Amino acid sequence: MGIFDFLSGQFIDVIHWTDDTRDTMVWRFEREGHEIKYGAKLTVREGQAAVFVHEGQLADVFTPGLYMLETNNMPVMTSLQHWDHGFRSPFKSEIYFVNTTRFSDLKWGTKNPIICRDPEFGPVRLRAFGTYTVRVTDPGKFMLEIVGTDGEFTMDEISFQIRNIIVQEFSRVIAASGIPVLDMAANTADLGALLAKRIEPTLAGYGIALPELYIENISLPEEVERALDKRTSMGVAGDLGRFAQYSAAEAMTESARTPGSAMGAAMGAMLGAQAAGAVAGPWGARPAEAAAPVAPPAPPVEHVWHIADAGQTTGPFSLASMGRKAADGTLTRESWVWTAGQDGWKRAEDVTDLARLFTVLPPPPPAV
């Protein structure tokens, strides 16, 4: 080894760190067998902090800036070394650079369902997942509590622990919130803010914080979701009696379009009987001993109409829709119409129910 190589190994003038890994939280400045020169330059960039550890003890912490390593800006190191202001010799110390920027797009989720009591459905099992960001707020505490002597500490080494903390607190928050399952989607932002607030004291003890925490989804087990879908379908159907009447009219119309279809005719007849109340129960006639008093006849099913024009048919249209068409001229006295039970196509003026629609309209002007 030449004299210049020896000298370069003994004295380091510039100390800095540039990172392009995007997941490194702490990196130790490698000075194995090297000494740090008193008065050396320390460069700490934005989004970094430099932590000095001397003989196993946490010493000075440097925030972004350019420093000359001297006694006036290393008070803790000066106290540990018992330096006076005239000290000029090299010294040995471990230097750790801490990344203080945000680590984003980190995932969390419940591994097992969380059991809680819903005010509407009773005991339910919930799953949830989302994202969060992490940032080191106290480099010194983070070094003492988490990193230790790890020379290169990455986000993966602590993300599992943070996920466990989030899931544990989420279980408590969701159980104590009292928010119904059907209203949770509208309250995920508030639940996320409450969850982050509950986690903050625990993470502060590690020297880190969660600037952002999002709940992306809260879901029920698949079998519960299927039952909920059925309940939603019933709500969409609304009045089942009117829905059955409409279905009967549609079935009869479809069967009339395909004459000779025994299945279509039978289906239309069956639905028509159900809509009119001919079938007393869901499985046929009631037993004699359970027969109820004769109910008044069901109101007649409203006719729906089809219109033929230029070889094409449109419809079905209700009587109200036909009235609007008569008013705007789409339906005229000469239009061909048909409805279930009618013997073939007829002109609108020859059908009693539709002829009334033209009584309030003036007749066509005489030919000149």
Question: How would you class 315 by CB atoms within 10 Å of its CB: exposed for 0-12, middle for 13-18, buried for 19 or more?
Answer: middle
The pLDDT value given to residue 46: 94
pLDDT of residue 6: 41
Helices (H), 238-304: 240-257, 262-276
Q: 316 or 251: whose pLDDT is higher?
A: 316
73: which 2 tokens? 């800006």
pLDDT for residue 179:
85
pLDDT band at 3 (very low <50, low <70, confident <90, very high): very low
Q: Quick one: CA dihedral 113, 195, 129, 156, positive or negative?
A: negative
User: Of 5-19, 103-117, 139-153, 287-301, which gets the smallest average pLDDT?
Assistant: 287-301
- In single-letter form, the type of residue at position 221 comes to P
Neighbours of 61 (CB within 10 A): 18
Average of per-residue pLDDT across 336-358: 83
The average pLDDT across 134-146 equals 92
Confidence class for position 21, pLDDT limits 50, 70, 90: confident
- Checking if the pLDDT of 340 tops 60, the result is yes
DSSP for 280-294?
-BTTBSPPGGGPPPP
Residue 297's pLDDT is what? 67
CB 53 within 8 A of CB 59: yes
Pair 357, 326: CB distance under 8 Å: yes
Residue-wise pLDDT for 278-332, tens only, equals 444 544 445 444 455 666 766 666 778 788 888 888 878 888 888 888 888 888 8
Q: Specify the pLDDT at position 256.
A: 63
For tokens 């992306």, what's the residue?
216
pLDDT band, residue 242 (cuts 50/70/90): low
Tokens of 357: 């629609």
The residue among 306, 315, 312, 359 whose CA lies nearest residue 333 is 359
Model confidence pLDDT, tens digit, residues 183-237: 888 888 888 999 999 999 999 999 999 999 999 988 887 877 787 777 676 666 5
Percent of the chain with pLDDT over 70: 70
Summarised one tens digit per residue, pLDDT across range 36-54 is 777 788 999 999 999 988 7
CATH superfamily of 103-225: Band 7 domain (3.30.479.30)
- Sign for the pseudo-dihedral over CA of 168, 171, 174, 175: negative
CATH number of 305-358: 3.30.1490
> What one-character-per-residue DSSP string does 152-192 give?
EEETHHHHHHHHHHHHHHHHHHHHHH---GGGSGGGHHHHH
Mean pLDDT for 14-21 is 87
Classify each residue of 65-86 as buried b or exposed e, where b means 16 or more C-beta atoms within 10 Å of its C-beta.
eebebebeebeebbebbebeee
> pLDDT value at position 96?
92
pLDDT, tens only, 71-99: 666 766 666 665 555 556 667 778 899 99
pTM of the model: 0.56
For the chain, give the mean pLDDT. 78
Give the pLDDT of residue 48: 94
Scanning 55-118, the segments in alpha helix (DSSP H) are 75-81
The pLDDT, as a whole number, for residue 206 is 93
With beta carbons less than 8 A apart as the criterion, state whether 214 and 107 touch: no
Q: Select from 128, 98, 103 the least CA-distant residue to 212.
A: 103
- Would you state the pLDDT for residue 347? 87
Average pLDDT over residues 159-164: 92
Report the pLDDT value the prediction gives residue 138, as an integer from 0 to 100.
94
Residue carrying the six token digits 């409409």: 246
Reported as a pLDDT band with limits 50, 70 and 90, residue 20 is confident
More confident call, 78 vs 101: 101
Q: Two tokens at 40?
A: 């050396």
Residue 6 CB contacts under 8 Å (≥ 6 apart), including other chains: none
Average pLDDT over every residue of 112-131: 87
Tokens of 2: 């030449």
